[in-house]
């Protein structure tokens, strides 16, 4: 069981896990659709304008069934996209509550229901993350007020509840915040571009364990992949 050699850093984006989050309609799903061999586990409507491979998911049991097929069968998919992970967590909560005959996790005693839901949620995500394929998790964004030693401040974070958000943030290799950046053209007129933010900030959640990405990059998958791969134009 003990290793004899160190593992090499993974070089392919399709071997990594990423959280992609941001405002509605900014282009998160479109960005993910360009990933190599993308398969969407669609837990909410919103892919009607995209030509993608997708499995509609309405319950946690359906997600488990889809994951079982992904794990056990040969297929052409190299990137699994859960869109959105927020809805997937809600389905996980409903699944655990139904299994224990309650309407809400708080009815199972202090902390027990939340622990069962989060353990199940983490179990499935971890199994997917260990597969030889990419895992992209899509979420929305909202502003939250946090209190620190220096006072209260506003930060943009994924819309997941606290515990599953911490599970996801601790698991993924990339935390990519989709945003709108304001600038000016040569005439001084305002222009706006869609970007991804990849580095930690007091103002939003982001991160890049690979160290390959600039702090801000255009929300364009070919440009992202080229930068990530270190290719020169």
Nearest to 19 by CA among 162, 127, 174, 132: 174
Distance CA 21, CA 13 (A): 17
Extents of the domains making up the chain? 13-229
> Is the model's pTM score more than 0.95?
no
Ramachandran class of 82: left when φ > 0, alpha when ψ lies in -120 to 50, beta otherwise: beta
Q: Are 141 and 24 in contact (CB under 8 A)?
A: no
Nearest to 128 by CA among 71, 167, 66, 210: 71
* Residue 222 confidence (pLDDT): 94
Task: Name which CATH class applies to 13-229.
Answer: alpha beta
- pLDDT, averaged per 10 consecutive residues of the chain (233 residues), comes to 80 89 96 96 91 96 95 89 97 96 86 94 95 95 86 92 96 97 84 95 95 95 92 50
Distance CA 12, CA 108 (A): 43
* Residue 233 confidence (pLDDT): 44
Distance CA 11, CA 25 (A): 30
Q: Are 141 and 159 in contact (CB under 8 A)?
A: yes
Distance CA 191, CA 181 (A): 8
* Residue 232 confidence (pLDDT): 46
The per-residue pLDDT for range 87-144, each reduced to its tens digit, is 999 999 999 999 999 998 888 887 899 999 999 999 999 999 999 899 999 999 999 9
DSSP string, the chain: ---SSPPPPP--GGGSEEEEEESTTSSHHHHHHTSTTEEEEESSS--TTS--EEEE--SHHHHHHHHHHHHHS--S--EEEEE-HHHHHHHHHHHHHHHTT-SSGGGGSTTHHHHHHHHHHHHHHHHHHTSSSEEEEEEEEEEEEEEETTEEEEEEEESS-HHHHHHHHHH-SEEEEEEEEEEE-TTS-EEEEEEEE-S--SSB--EETT--S-SEEES-HHHHHHHHHT---
């Amino acid at each position: 069981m003990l290793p004899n050699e160190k593992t090499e850093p993974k070089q392919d984006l399709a071997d990594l896990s990423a959280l992609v989050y941001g405002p509605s309609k900014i282009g998160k799903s479109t960005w993910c659709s360009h990933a190599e061999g993308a398969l969407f586990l669609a837990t909410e409507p919103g892919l009607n304008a995209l030509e993608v491979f997708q499995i509609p998911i309405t319950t946690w049991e359906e997600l488990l069934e889809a994951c079982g097929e992904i794990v056990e069968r040969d297929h052409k998919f190299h990137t699994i996209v859960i869109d959105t992970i927020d809805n997937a967590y809600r389905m996980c909560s409903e699944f655990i509550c139904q299994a224990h005959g309650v309407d809400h996790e708080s009815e199972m005693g202090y902390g027990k229901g939340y622990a069962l839901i989060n353990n199940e949620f983490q179990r499935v995500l971890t199994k997917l993350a260990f597969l030889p394929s990419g895992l992209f998790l899509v979420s929305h964004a909202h502003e939250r007020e946090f209190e620190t030693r220096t006072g209260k401040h506003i930060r943009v974070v994924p819309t997941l509840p606290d515990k599953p958000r911490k599970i996801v943030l601790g698991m993924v290799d990339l935390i990519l915040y989709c945003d709108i950046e304001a600038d000016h053209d040569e005439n001084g007129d305002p222009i706006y571009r869609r970007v991804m933010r990849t580095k930690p900030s007091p103002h939003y959640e982001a991160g890049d364990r690979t160290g390959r990405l600039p702090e801000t990059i255009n929300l364009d998958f070919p440009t992202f992949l080229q930068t990530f791969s270190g290719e020169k134009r």
